[in-house]
Structure 1
Amino acid sequence: MKKLDKLILGSFIGPFLLTFIVVDFILLTVNMLRYFDEIFGKGLGFMIYVELISYFVISISPMALPLAVLLSALMTFGNLGEHFELTAIKSSGISLLRALLPIGIFVIILSFFAYLSNNYLVPKVNLKTFSLLYDIRMKSPALDIQEGVFYNGIPNYSIKVNRKLDDVTLMDIIIYDHTSGQGNTNVILADSGRMEPFFNDRYMQLSLFNGYSYQESSTQRPIREKPADFSRTSFSQNRMIFSLDAFNLNRTTDDQWSNNRSIKNIAEIRNDLDSMDRDINSFRYYNYINTESNYSYFSRLRKLSPPDDILNKKAIGDSIRNAKWQEKMMADRSEVDSMDPMDEDDSQHLEQQLDGPEDHILEFYQEQDSLHGAETFDSIIINNDTITEAIVSLNDPVHDYMGEQSDRSPLETADLSTISQERIDKLDSIFNSREANVRASSIALNSARTLKNQFNIQKTKIDNLEREFRRFEIAWYQKYTQAFACIVMFMIGAPLGAIIKKGGLGMPVLFSIIFFIIFYMLTITGEKWAKEGITDPILGTWFANLCLLPVGMFFLKQARKDARLFDADLYHSLFLKIKKYFTKDKGKK
């Protein structure tokens, strides 16, 4: 590595680390404010907060890296331009692209590590974060009873203390007991009391002195019945035990969040996408199959068949499912074969469990032979076709044993010539009457409404499945786009710093915030389009990078020409030329 590369890279590393820490801290603060009311004030230990903050720092690092690269590149080349070091580099025959090379290689390596972090580290950290946040949310606030305020932290109890002598001694106590779920029917009043934890702070003992206990039975009585029972009990000392399990932090297992897309890497997301695609295709296939039965005007010669692409996907999915089922059956068979030898009764029981439907068909033939005196079972040749026909004949309510099934309906086989014309006219008059037409119209309208509701429900289900499918695709492509954003931000920040030639935290911070806001808005817009199905998910996730990449190329071209894009004198002279042109044109007129 040459001295120039060391100089430029060394001037970039320091601002990059500083800006990354600052940006990460800002994003951490913004992220923590969302959960401020849920995680603070619950008496958690210091290490719990350290663990949660460390999880947040790692999870927001993919968003902090592009902004840190943009700001540090602006500061680095702004300082080089402000101190005329960049001018000296160019005057020595070194082009701007050659000066950008060491930082460019560093950013490419950084983007590769950002991709690895997004794919492997961040999903595991998100899993830990979701689990810990859920545990903190389920934990009740710390036991802190204030004077003159009802405290509802203990489940099913509302406690008010008018005066506290210390953390243990309480004066003038009112307790509403809601354990019965009948409202404020049980009230306890006491002059004083002591609240002390015991048994490793798992329970709280409240000792009450010199008070009364009021209890009213809440019955919904009619007006003529006698009033509900009311009792008052005085006591000199009363002890109440409260469980403090709600105040402890119980850590749940990570398996509860196994279906969240934020905790999956690319391989797991692709597996879920394959499963979801097969589910969506199966849902559409059975919608086509079941829709035909909803229309009464469909006949045998008029079928509603699914499209070819749905049938092809269904065949592929069924073949994969059958292959997995065969593998499972082979594994079960091998496991059974590897078991210890069994006695005769156990082996017979196992064979009965492993019998297929062919064995039941054979038993059926044997029973029918014995009942109807048909040909002996030994003379029947059983194969797959005869078994299938036997199953169909058994499931058909109208069939003849070992005979042919008639395809004609009873109406078709009936002899209509025996019906008189007077009978036919009478039937026609019944069906053509006003009451029959009104009834038929009502039935048709209800059927149409039912079909419309069914179709709307099916459409909503398919839309929800497709939206979830697109969200998984967005989570897949974000692994790449967030890493590639570092390269895009470098291509914008480095040439822009060489153009403005201002270092420090003034102008670079302003331009960095502007471009980061634009990048964030374009990212949110593209992802929203992808979620709603307006555009393809791959285009929606890459939308921000595709929009800002030409901007970076433009700044790079202008920086190579030493253009004065942000020079006030340039725009002032341009304004004077435009003003002079219009003034001259007006004088000629």
Structure 2
Amino acid sequence: MKILDRYILTSFIQTFASVFIILFFIFILQGIWLFIAELAGKDLDTWLVFKFLLFYSPKIVPLVLPLSILLASIMTFGNFAENYEFAAMKSSGISLNRAMRSLIIFICGLSVVAYFFANDVIPKAEYKFLNLRKNIIQRKPAMAIVEGQFNAIGSFNIKVDKKGGENGEKLTGVTIHKRKPGAVDVTIIRSKTGLLVSNEKSNLLQLELYDGFYYEDIASKNPAERQKQPFAKSSFTKQVMNIDLTILNSNDDDEEQVAHTNNMLNVSELSYTLDSLQATYDKEAKSVVANIVQRPNGVFIPTPTPAIVPGVNDTIKPAVKKDSIPQDLLSVVEKVDRIRVLEAASNNISSTDYEVSSGQKALLERIKNINNHWLALYDKFVIAFACILMFFIGAPLGAIIRKGGLGLPIVFAVLIFIIFHFINTFGRKLAQENGIPPFLGSWMSTFVLSPLAILLTYRATNDIGLISMDNILMPFQKAFNKLFKTKNKEA
């Protein structure tokens, strides 16, 4: 390796390492803020908190790594241009392409490392992270409840005045509000003491209450009675309640739950899962179509037609021939049966419409699940290419703006990365809802910013500025000169 290549590579690596560490800790602090409710006031030791953050940190690398490469590239090449080092290189016959050669090899190697990191490390860390959250709650059931405030767990709101015992399992002054989803009435349970019992192999948290009262609203059908707000009160010596903790190990919406599952799979596992999901989807689609086509129609039994007696009922219309279709289909049915025919047809249409809509919803959920798996598969490659893309945006941009340090480079880096992240998020959300193909959703940000990288590289290697200010200011200068010449002539 030549001295120049070693110098450029060393300057970039030093800047990249410092920027990566700073941004990494900033995103770690953001993660702490997101999970502060699970960490603060839960009597967790330092080792558990360290493991919690250790297993969480790999998932932020896909955000930190491209941003660090972008910012380090702008700062490094901006410093070279600002200190006239590029001018010295060009005077010695060294072009920008030649100066970037060692860094291109380094960035390509870093992108390969990023791919294997996203494929092997992140899925394992995600699996351990979710299981650690579950094990913390199961081993320390008191973690689910904080003193002096209501804690929402499923349909329960639990408040305790004080916790005691070795693991905080002994409770004093327990108040529980229980409300069913969509219901107005509420049940209030108060007890003097309580005990938390859990099992590491179960997702149920058992709460034993002692010496308490049970208040329950009574829903009366009489409006006058409802205005009195009646309720029932009973006392108990001991009562056992089971609380489902699975809600604590899941996110707020189903999309995030699917995403977590996808993040725990590597490329080979995702490929195998996609084959299974696609086969299941094809089978279910055929089943839905078969159920709609072969579903039994409503059976209509017409009123028996009386026999035709000449001179008595010979005015009855004859039966319709098979080869002729009348314009009024109800004309072939007796008047007494027409209402029943219309009701049977309406019921058939309603039931068929329900079958079609329910089948469409079920198939749409299957498609969304498949799309999420495709997005997770493409993300392994997107992060690798994002490293190369950000370098070919940052290095030429730094050479053009000729500014190093932490001022203007940060502005450009943050602006470009926000655009990249926004387009990436928009494309993923659109692909998850089956609005666009998953491939386009994952690579949308790359498709949008690749022309910018090509343009900047072209202008930097050909010594063309980012924007020609002369072309912008020349019309205003001409108009300004004409205006002043006119005033001078009038004077």
TM-score, scaled to structure 1 = 0.61
- Match of residue 455, structure 1, among 349, 356, 361: 356
- Match of residue 369, structure 2, among 451, 468, 476: 468
Q: Does 1:140 align with 2:139?
A: no
Q: Which runs of 5+ in 2 are unaligned?
A: 180-185, 197-206, 226-231, 250-256, 299-305, 320-330, 487-491
Deviations along 1:412-456, one digit per CA (max 9) or x if unpaired, are xxxxxxx96449988989984433101110111111111101100
- Code of the residue aligned with 1:270 in structure 2: it is S
Distance in 1 of aligned mates of 2:150 and 2:458: 69
Among all aligned residue pairs of Structure 1 and Structure 2, give the percentage whose two residues are the same amino acid.
Answer: 28
Going from structure 1 to structure 2, the CA distance change for 1:70 and 1:157 (only over 3 Å counts) comes to: closer
The Cα shift of 1:292 comes to 2.5
Confirm or deny: 8 A CA contact 2:292 2:356 kept in the other structure.
no
- Code of the residue aligned with 1:447 in structure 2: it is N
Counterpart for residue 359 of structure 1: none
Confirm or deny: 8 A CA contact 1:38 1:137 kept in the other structure.
no
Counterpart for residue 270 of structure 2: 269
Going from structure 1 to structure 2, the CA distance change for 1:291 and 1:497 (only over 3 Å counts) comes to: same
Deviations along 1:174-194, one digit per CA (max 9) or x if unpaired, are 8468799996687669xxxxx
Going from structure 1 to structure 2, the CA distance change for 1:178 and 1:499 (only over 3 Å counts) comes to: closer
The Cα shift of 1:578 comes to 0.6
Distance in 2 of aligned mates of 1:478 and 1:42: 35
- Secondary structure at the aligned position of 1:56 is classed as helix
- Code of the residue aligned with 1:445 in structure 2: it is S
The Cα shift of 1:218 comes to 8.9
Confirm or deny: 8 A CA contact 1:127 1:257 kept in the other structure.
no
Distance in 1 of aligned mates of 2:130 and 2:414: 30
- Secondary structure at the aligned position of 2:100 is classed as helix
Going from structure 1 to structure 2, the CA distance change for 1:113 and 1:177 (only over 3 Å counts) comes to: closer
Counterpart for residue 21 of structure 1: 21
The Cα shift of 1:121 comes to 1.1
Q: How many residues in Structure 1 have an aligned counterpart in Structure 2?
A: 420
Going from structure 1 to structure 2, the CA distance change for 1:61 and 1:435 (only over 3 Å counts) comes to: same
Counterpart for residue 323 of structure 1: none
Counterpart for residue 355 of structure 1: none
Confirm or deny: 8 A CA contact 1:492 1:552 kept in the other structure.
yes
- Secondary structure at the aligned position of 2:268 is classed as helix
Counterpart for residue 401 of structure 1: none
- Secondary structure at the aligned position of 1:264 is classed as coil
Deviations along 1:123-177, one digit per CA (max 9) or x if unpaired, are 111111121233446643488766xx89999x9986658xx9x999xxxx98468
Q: Does 1:554 align with 2:463?
A: no
Counterpart for residue 292 of structure 1: 293
Distance in 1 of aligned mates of 2:268 and 2:349: 45
Counterpart for residue 282 of structure 1: 283
Q: Does 1:500 align with 2:398?
A: no
Counterpart for residue 411 of structure 2: 510
Confirm or deny: 8 A CA contact 1:70 1:492 kept in the other structure.
yes
Deviations along 1:310-358, one digit per CA (max 9) or x if unpaired, are xxxxxxxxxxxxxxxxxxxxxxxxxxxxxxxxxxxxxxxxxxxxxxxxx
Counterpart for residue 47 of structure 2: 47
Distance in 1 of aligned mates of 2:87 and 2:343: 88
Counterpart for residue 260 of structure 1: 261
- Code of the residue aligned with 1:120 in structure 2: it is D
Q: Which runs of 5+ in 1 are unaligned?
A: 190-194, 198-203, 234-239, 298-418
- Match of residue 577, structure 1, among 466, 474, 478: 474
Going from structure 1 to structure 2, the CA distance change for 1:217 and 1:37 (only over 3 Å counts) comes to: closer
Distance in 1 of aligned mates of 2:453 and 2:152: 58
Distance in 2 of aligned mates of 1:444 and 1:144: 59
Task: Point out the structure with max Rg over C-alpha.
Answer: 1
More deviation in 45-54 or 423-432?
423-432
Confirm or deny: 8 A CA contact 1:150 1:160 kept in the other structure.
no
- Match of residue 489, structure 1, among 375, 380, 390: 390
Counterpart for residue 538 of structure 1: 439
The Cα shift of 1:471 comes to 1.1
- Code of the residue aligned with 1:498 in structure 2: it is A
The Cα shift of 1:282 comes to 1.1
- Code of the residue aligned with 1:473 in structure 2: it is W
Distance in 1 of aligned mates of 2:314 and 2:126: 76
- Secondary structure at the aligned position of 1:563 is classed as coil
The Cα shift of 1:16 comes to 0.7
Distance in 2 of aligned mates of 1:10 and 1:27: 26
Confirm or deny: 8 A CA contact 2:28 2:57 kept in the other structure.
yes
Confirm or deny: 8 A CA contact 2:146 2:159 kept in the other structure.
no
Counterpart for residue 339 of structure 1: none
TM-score, scaled to structure 2 = 0.72
Deviations along 1:374-426, one digit per CA (max 9) or x if unpaired, are xxxxxxxxxxxxxxxxxxxxxxxxxxxxxxxxxxxxxxxxxxxxx96449988
- Code of the residue aligned with 1:95 in structure 2: it is S
> RMSD over aligned Cα, in angstroms?
4.7
- Code of the residue aligned with 1:579 in structure 2: it is F
Counterpart for residue 85 of structure 1: 85
- Secondary structure at the aligned position of 2:400 is classed as helix
Distance in 2 of aligned mates of 1:15 and 1:47: 31
Going from structure 1 to structure 2, the CA distance change for 1:217 and 1:257 (only over 3 Å counts) comes to: closer
Confirm or deny: 8 A CA contact 1:527 1:540 kept in the other structure.
yes
Distance in 1 of aligned mates of 2:449 and 2:178: 63
